[in-house]
Structure 1
Amino acid sequence: MSVFVKAEQSGRRVVYYDADGNKTVRDGGDPNWRTNNPGNLVSDTLEGKKYGIGKFKNDAVHNFAIFPDMETGEKAMKEYIKRKFGEKTIQEMMEKYAPPKHNDTEAYIKSIQKQTGLDTNRKISELSSGEFERLRNTIKKHEGGQVGKEMTSSQSPLSNLFNAATSFLNNIANKLNAFLNGINSFFQGKDDANFYTAQKGDTLAKYRLDIFSQISCIIFQILLLLFQKHSSSLLSTVLHKTPLHLLCSCSSLCFSACV
């Protein structure tokens, strides 16, 4: 499993990065699943600053912390509740944890009381470990937790398109190499069994050595090098920036030169 060192918000998605720059994208589901933040801790809490690797703006008010994994998010939630509300009652804690300005606090407290069976006038520090976990799990459930979709960079549609384009260009390059080696063999008077050898009497027209095919060969060789050296973002840029008729023209010219 990847260890994430950085995360950022992209619309409603969260994009995680490991140390090698590989991406994992979480989409859909509840915010606290996307952010590995079961308690929906805000990013400026002590625990958010200590363990967080990014922040997620869920609305005009809240910037939730993004944690590298759910285990870290669970740890941060436990530490936050005990540090911040250890000497508060459950009732007092929830009035701060989910204030009436942004929540139906009374309904939240009643839900906790019903699901845990705990007296909400008890202090957090007085709860046994089992009671504390019942309280915490009820809060987690109330905050959300629905799982969405997770995609790694190798599974993304753009990455798949990039791989297909790279395979296509490699195939074109192999044909170009065979073609050009055959021509080179002809002019040097050599017979190489690995390539088609032009025969005397063959004309340049037969090999379509016009200026357009030469240019198209060079263009596709350059594109191949670019695809091999850069990330899939290059493909996105090419597809968005290059006029469709120019891409089609280059493809047609290259095909004509290589068949």
Structure 2
Amino acid sequence: MFVNATYDRDRKTVHYFDEDGSETLYIGGSFAWRTNNPGNLTKPGSYVMDAAIGYAQRTSGSKSLFVIFPDRASGQLAHQRLLKRVYGNSTVKGMISKYAPSSENNTDAYVSFVTEKAGVSPEDIIGSLGEDKFGAVSAAMEQQEGNVPGVIKQLGKPVQVQLRDKLNQPFASQKIHVKSASDNFATETDENGDLPWIFSGLLGREVSLYYDREQGDLEKIGSFTADGAASAYTFGSPYYLLSARPRVHQTELVAHPAMHVVRAGETLSSIAAKYGTSVDTLVRINGLANADHIYARQHLRVRAAHAVTQSNPLPKARPSTVKPASPVRVAVADQREVGVVHQRNPESGHPQTLVSSPTLELSGAIWCDRFKGSQSVDTLNPAFKSCVEAFFAALKVAGIQPVVNATFRPAERSYLMYHAFQIAKGTVSPDKVERFTGVDIDWVHRTADGEMDLDASRKAATHMCNGFGLRLNSSRQKVGRPWSSRHNYGAAIDMNIPDFTGKNVQDAHGDEIAIKSFADLKAIGQSYGVRFFPVETMHWSDNGR
């Protein structure tokens, strides 16, 4: 079922988003067909129309926003409800005169078409028509509004692929070939090593990536299965091997540390200038909801750290096709470089140094200040935001003031919350947690001899749970995986709604409901498109999950 939609007026295309992560395009055809809005209903000013998942501006000069529905049946039902509720006491002619005013339509021709098709009189009262006649009037109006099918293109589920080298640096501005059974095309990574979105519906299930070294010399990077929910894949692009040196000196992190601790008076602009990056990049990699809201002692990621030595700096990395062997002990100094694994070349037996991942930061309460979520309704996606605002407006009229606890939550924060909860509960071992792009956390705390310290790892995870406000001893506490929560899509809100019993609240259909129980409140919220999730005590979303 589609849960959100956007409209591209220039391309005459509606982009639909399914609750399972799939995406679909409705291209061409009539406007009513593209929007699943057979009655061409516009957005009401006083409430959110039931089942609306988006809005479309039909022309550049139009002040009206037309409703986008998840399917034609929903659009038809909304049309019929509108006719009965708004025009129930009007004649057929009077209804059409208001519904399709002469300033925008040939109203007389509209009336003649509908009455002839439906077999009714222009003076018949809408509310007095039998179901058959009423249905015929509705169908004739839909036909008059136009329903010319266009093209439906199933994009499938989008996959974001990021390529990073063995220094964990972006494999930026590199030519990449994407191959599958259905298509084969060349593209290029951006400055962050990201490829354009890849859609399973266009490429098929199995997708392979190749690095174009020069003039068609393709080296396979890896393959993946593009049939999961919207995901992010990170491939270690070609290995970079460096010759071992007889002595490794003390490592220091220079030039560009991975984290910056905000000082009083600093702005995101000044921090970006200091590290040679942009405000947009800092907002993106830290999951900030507002570029103007940072605070002293806040930890911000600025980019991955670069490890260099005080003497014998690393030589320029060169590509190699030699596959790394299992780590073995090599006679070098005790102090080794951060993120460096010493190995032997499996063919020559000579020692080599494989530069691997960057320094990871141990888990603990400090991570609770990273990738902050939001409590603002403004950070919700536009479709759900309008639903929430309409629901809140109705509650406010009745003297009810909701207390918002959470709205948008970055996927990185969901990753931290989910795995901290699992580790603290003992559900998963810290060394079994998968990595998440952009979150350089080490869940494994170790003893002096390098063995995993399970107690310390769980204790750190417990501190994180406390910082996140997670109730470890509550059976009702649920924590979703990243991208499984509607919070990650700006389509959920956690809130308390106090003192609602005994109040009269108008639902989205214009009916005034006397609230006797929480069930009444849930029904009113659902009429506005804000659905309660029964598994959690405060969670409301666009689809009730």
Structure 2 length normalisation: TM-score? 0.32
Superposed counterparts of 1:203-214, under 5 Å: none
Q: 1:50 Cα deviation (Å)? A: 2.7
Question: Against the structure 1 CA distance between its residues 123 and 164, is the aligned structure 2 distance closer, same or farther, given a 3 Å change threshold?
Answer: closer
Q: Give runs of aligned pairs for residues 3-152 of structure 1, distance below 5 A.
A: 3-11=1-9, 12-44=12-44, 49-59=49-59, 60-61=61-62, 62-152=64-154
AA aligned opposite 1:73: G
Structure richer in helix, relative to its length: 1
User: How far does residue 65 in structure 1 lie from its aligned partner after superposition?
Assistant: 0.4
**Deviation (angstroms), 1:10:** 1.9
1:150-229 matched pairs, under 5 angstroms: 150-154=152-156, 159=199, 166-169=207-210, 172-173=220-221, 179-181=321-323, 184-188=345-349
Aligned partners of 2:103, 2:15: CA distance in 1, in Å? Answer: 30
> Equivalents in 1 of 2:205, 2:141: separation in Å?
46
- Cα offset, 1:48, TM superposition: 5.2
Superposed CA RMSD: 3.3
- The separation in 2 between residues aligned to 1:136 and 1:113, in whole angstroms, is 11
1:117-161 Cα deviation digits (max 9, x unpaired): 211101001111111111111101010111111122239986378
* Counterpart-to-counterpart distance in 2, 1:20 and 1:164: 16
Shift of the 129–113 alpha-carbon distance from structure 1 to 2, 3 Å rule, reads same
Q: What CA deviation, in whole Å up to 9, does each residue of 1:175-210 have, x standing for no partner?
A: x68931399322228xxxxxxxxxxxxxxxxxxxxx
Hey, what does 2:310 align to over in structure 1? none
Deviations 1:99-122 (CA, angstroms, capped at 9, x unpaired): 000000011111112222211101
Report the structure, 1 or 2, having the larger strand content.
2
- When residues 47 and 131 of structure 1 are mapped into structure 2, their CA distance, relative to the original with a 3 A threshold, is farther
Sequence identity of aligned pairs in percent? 28
Q: What's the offset of the Cα at 1:162?
A: 7.0
**Kindly tell me: are residues 36 and 6 of structure 1, through their superposed partners in 2, closer, same or farther at Cα, counting changes over 3 Å?**
same
Cα distance in 1, alignment partners of residues 131 and 120 from structure 2: 13
> Number of residues paired by the alignment?
190
TM-score with structure 1 length normalisation? 0.63
- Kept in 1, the 8 Å contact 2:88–2:127? The answer is yes
Asked whether the 8 Å contact 1:54–1:67 carries over to 2, the reply is yes
Give the counterpart letter for 1:15 in structure 2.
Answer: H
Alignment-mate amino acid for residue 31 of structure 1: F
Counterpart Cα distance in 2 of 1:149 and 1:162: 18
Structure 1's 140 and 169: CA in aligned 2 closer, same or farther, altered over 3 A? same
CA distance in 2, matches of 1:46, 1:151: 35
1:91 maps to amino acid = K
Unpaired runs of at least 5, structure 2: 159-182, 184-197, 212-218, 223-237, 240-319, 325-343, 351-436, 439-545
Cα contact 1:56–1:66 (8 A) shared by 2? yes
**1:172 aligned partner, one-letter code:** K
Please tell me whether the aligned partners of residues 21 and 157 of structure 2 are also in contact (alpha carbons under 8 angstroms). Answer: no
Question: Match for 2:145: what amino acid?
Answer: E
SS of alignment partner, residue 156 of structure 2: helix
Q: 1:129 to 1:165 in 2, by over 3 A?
A: closer
Per-residue deviation at 1:167? 1.0
1:173 Cα deviation from its structure 2 partner: 3.0
Q: How far apart, CA to CA, are the structure 2 residues paired with 1:25 and 1:46?
A: 30
Decide whether aligned partners of structure 1 residues 105 and 47 sit closer, same or farther in structure 2, where only a CA change above 3 A counts. farther
The CA distance in 1 between the partners of 2:204 and 2:115, in whole Å, is: 54
Q: How far apart, in 2, do the equivalents of 1:139 and 1:47 lie?
A: 23
